[in-house]
Structure 1
Amino acid sequence: MRSVRLALAEKGVAHTLVGVDLVKGEHLEGQHLARHPWGKMPAFEHDGNAFYEASAIMRYIDEVFPGPALTPSTPVERARMNQVMSIVESYGYPASITDIFIPRVLVPSLGGQTDEALVEAAKPRAALFLKEIARLLGAGSYFGGASVSLADLHLLPVLTYLRATPEGQALLAATPTIEAWMGRMNERSSVQAVMPAN
């Protein structure tokens, strides 16, 4: 959800954020299920149109609203942006969030115990994710070329939450180019407005 909010902030779009309490199970109630049949977030409505899935919403925001373009202008850079967004969704989020952040941080905050085997098994997948992301960034400043793209905004929340774990801190320390990229991203006003304090 934060990636969508980052896109809105980068474009300067005024919007209303509707809270859904996951702990209370509001994401599985009829009102939210009407917006997203799998009970996930985010869900987005604009001008009579409703969408879910963060990458689809982000692309819509970039196309519909004025402001700086968040999609690169060349076919190669656009393909790289789309590739990174897909890597985040298919590999990065499951390893970093579902299998490390949630059991390490969220479950204990709700009174549960960390599944240490799950976290341990996820570490090699998270390491591969970071290694490949670092390779794709190369010596570039951003994943879309010279300026921030949807890929950067899609990746940052995942890495921010991963960094909130001891495992994530160690993994990120092994990828200094990604650490430097996170530093650049965290200087952006959109990130300071949307992301939790590190």
Structure 2
Amino acid sequence: MSADLVIAVDGPAASGKGAVATRLGQAYGLPVLDTGLLYRAVGVAASRAGVDPDDPEVTASVAGAVDLMALDDPALRTREAGELASRVAVHPGVRAALHAAQVGFSRRPGGAVLDGRDIGTVIAPWATAKLFVTARPEVRAERRWRQLVGQGETVTLAEVLEDIRRRDARDGGRLDAPMAPATDAVLLDTSEMTIDLAADAARRIVEAARANRA
């Protein structure tokens, strides 16, 4: 590939990958795409249209109409949107419909940062640097619970932990793109890290990857 800097940030929900991706984008002056929002957008659009999120054909049609530049709807950040995203993401047709948009973003001149679950394995296996950001389920559940409560949602920590474990099982079992680190990804466990520490560690990983390619 060219000298463009492409950073793949994969990992499970609430691992800190979104915050890490944002910080990396700021550090390197690169555009950032939270690919999970694409799936949330499909799930929310399907729900609003009265479409069954477990219907593979109809949700694939919904996915084909998703606007990459219209992902700032607050409804995409809710607990319900997260569950809907996990349900529609299992459909190969949905993933295929969103694949080209994600690949196109990864090939922007100068580079890009993509945050998702299969960036380093499916979307941009040629990325300059690949990170797999994770944390213990209990830590991730507390982070997501605090976020949801801060948004005004009424939910218990136990419910969020159940959501996290269910989504991990569903995403890990996908045959087309199971959630797993690329063989050359660097694992970053943020369980005991603040966002500042995680961002610093992530930058070191990226710099090491760039040095190896020099």
- TM-score normalised to structure 1 length: 0.30
TM-score (norm 2): 0.28
Q: Which has the higher helix share?
A: 1
Which of the pair is proportionally richer in strand? 2
Greater relative CO, 1 or 2 (CA 8 Å, sep 6+): 2
